[in-house]
């Protein structure tokens, strides 16, 4: 019931963001600014708060083993994404987008606040480990998938065009990609592990500042998500049968099977709970942002983000009742 209460709170916050955007109080520029605050300040602070002056029973060897399990989870998701697009008979020009939506969940804007609220700061140590492979894949694997969609569409219309060229679809150079991979979220995750393992004591004012910034994450994240829903035609989402079926698999089947397999490894129940949240959260907003940047199936990605976000309010509490 605790997760149901948290989802109700977050849904109300999303409604607040939706209304504020509709009334023009949150402008498109303001929405982008709030997103920047969450990504570059509040979310990293929430990750850091897991280790600053905290006592925990999680050993370094356990964190290493957990990170290995998370890497395996992403490998399985990539394989599953490939199979799923064939099962759903996704057109060639949309397969990459569906694969990205399968692999990348909203672990930052929704996953972190839920993990913190449900399981406390100790669980954020586990949650922070998801960030590293996530960021590596979003700027490598995700780009490859979008290029494949572009190639397929070009072949379909008889154009001889290479993806990754042109203003809208240009791929970042290696240095730019490295900078994006090792962003503030990954740096905060690495620092969290270092601080935790070395047991460095921080001054009280640092701990208090980090905690205050951390407390901004949940309300601002949900307000931004709610504001983003104003850009989507709700009716269109519920007429796409393939997207609805994908949503059911994404929000229900994958988390249930994933948690079952993780339990077989003998993983700690706290980590199992974190995995449930991370696998059960909706499609990550980064999939739509990258699709828009590269002019590749933006509308499909945006609808996937919106539909899974709305329905996750129902599916996550159901999952918690079944699994936890």
Quickly state the pLDDT bin for 102 (edges 50, 70, 90): very high
Share of the chain above pLDDT 90, in %: 44
Question: Between 167 and 12, where is the model more confident?
Answer: 12
Residues whose CB is less than 8 angstroms from the CB of residue 250 and which lie 6 or more positions away in sequence, other chains included: 101, 102, 282, 283, 308
Average pLDDT over residues 28-54: 87
For 25, the 3-state DSSP assignment is: coil
Which residue, 131, 127, 133, 132, is CA-closest to 49? 127
Top mean-pLDDT range of 1-15, 64-78, 109-123, 294-308: 64-78
Burial (CB count <10 Å: 0-12, 13-18, 19+), residue 186: buried
Residue-level pLDDT at 221 = 86
Angle in degrees, 0-180, between the axes of helices 2-22 and 217-228, rounded to the nearest 10: 50
pLDDT at 54 over 80: no
Surface-to-core class of residue 280, CB atoms within 10 Å of its CB (0-12 exposed, 13-18 middle, 19+ buried): buried
pLDDT in tens, 123-148: 888 998 998 899 889 888 998 898 88
> What Rg do the C-alpha atoms of the chain give, in angstroms?
19
Q: What is the pLDDT of residue 322?
A: 84
pLDDT category, 40, cuts 50, 70, 90? confident
How confident is the model over 143-166, as pLDDT tens digits? 889 888 888 877 776 665 554 444
The one-character DSSP state at 294 is: T
pLDDT attached to residue 184: 87
pLDDT at position 15 is 93
User: What residues pair up with 283 in beta bridges, in sequence order?
Assistant: 105
Which residue would you say has higher pLDDT here, 43 or 54? 43
Region 107-127 average pLDDT: 89
In a 10 Å sphere around its CB, with 0-12 CB exposed, 13-18 middle and 19+ buried, how is residue 219 labelled?
middle
pTM of the model: 0.85
- Which residue, 126, 124, 103, 142, is CA-closest to 49? 124
C-alpha pair distances (Å), 110 with each of 33, 39, 179, 251: 18, 12, 24, 14
Question: What pLDDT shows up at residue 159?
Answer: 61
Q: Is the Cβ–Cβ distance between 254 and 279 less than 8 Å? A: yes
Do the beta carbons of residue 66 and residue 126 sit within 8 Å? Answer: yes
> CA-CA distance, 114 to 278, in Å (whole number)?
9
Give the integer Cα–Cα distance in Å for 100 and 78.
9
CA 136-272-284 angle, 5° bins: 40
Confidence of residue 171 (pLDDT cuts 50, 70, 90): low
Q: What is the pLDDT of residue 60?
A: 77
Q: Which residue has the higher pLDDT, 122 or 241?
A: 241
Q: How far apart are the first and last CA of the chain?
A: 11
Q: In CATH, which of 1.20.1530, 1.10.3470, 3.40.50, 3.30.70 is domain 2-323?
A: 1.20.1530
């Amino acid at each position: 019931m605790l997760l149901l209460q948290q989802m109700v709170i977050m849904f109300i916050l999303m409604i607040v963001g939706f209304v504020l955007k509709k009334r023009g109080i949150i402008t498109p520029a303001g929405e982008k600014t709030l997103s920047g605050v969450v990504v570059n300040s509040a979310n990293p602070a929430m990750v850091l708060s897991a280790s600053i002056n905290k006592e925990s029973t999680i050993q370094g060897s356990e964190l290493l083993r957990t990170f290995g399990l998370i890497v395996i989870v992403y490998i399985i998701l990539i394989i599953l994404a490939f199979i799923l697009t064939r099962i759903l008979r996704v057109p060639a020009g949309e397969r990459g987008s569906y694969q990205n939506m399968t692999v990348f969940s909203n672990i930052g804007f929704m996953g972190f606040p839920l993990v913190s609220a449900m399981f406390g700061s100790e669980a954020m140590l586990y949650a922070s480990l998801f960030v590293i492979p996530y960021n590596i894949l979003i700027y490598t694997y995700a780009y490859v998938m979008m290029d494949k969609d572009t190639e397929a569409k070009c072949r379909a219309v008889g154009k001889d065009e290479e993806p990754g060229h042109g203003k809208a679809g240009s791929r970042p150079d290696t240095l730019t990609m490295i900078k994006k991979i090792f962003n503030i979220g990954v740096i905060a995750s690495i620092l969290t592990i270092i601080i935790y393992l070395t047991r460095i004591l921080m001054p009280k004012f640092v701990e208090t500042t980090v905690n205050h910034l951390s407390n901004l994450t949940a309300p601002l994240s949900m307000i931004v998500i709610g504001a983003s829903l104003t850009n989507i035609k709700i009716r269109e989402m519920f007429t796409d049968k393939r997207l609805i079926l994908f949503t059911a698999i994404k929000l229900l089947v994958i988390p249930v099977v994933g948690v079952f397999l993780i339990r077989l490894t003998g993983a700690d129940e706290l980590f199992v709970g974190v995995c449930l949240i991370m696998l059960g959260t909706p499609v990550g907003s980064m999939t739509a942002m990258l699709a828009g940047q590269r002019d590749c199936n933006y509308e499909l990605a945006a609808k996937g983000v919106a539909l899974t976000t709305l329905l996750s309010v129902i599916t996550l509490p159901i999952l918690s009742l079944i699994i936890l």
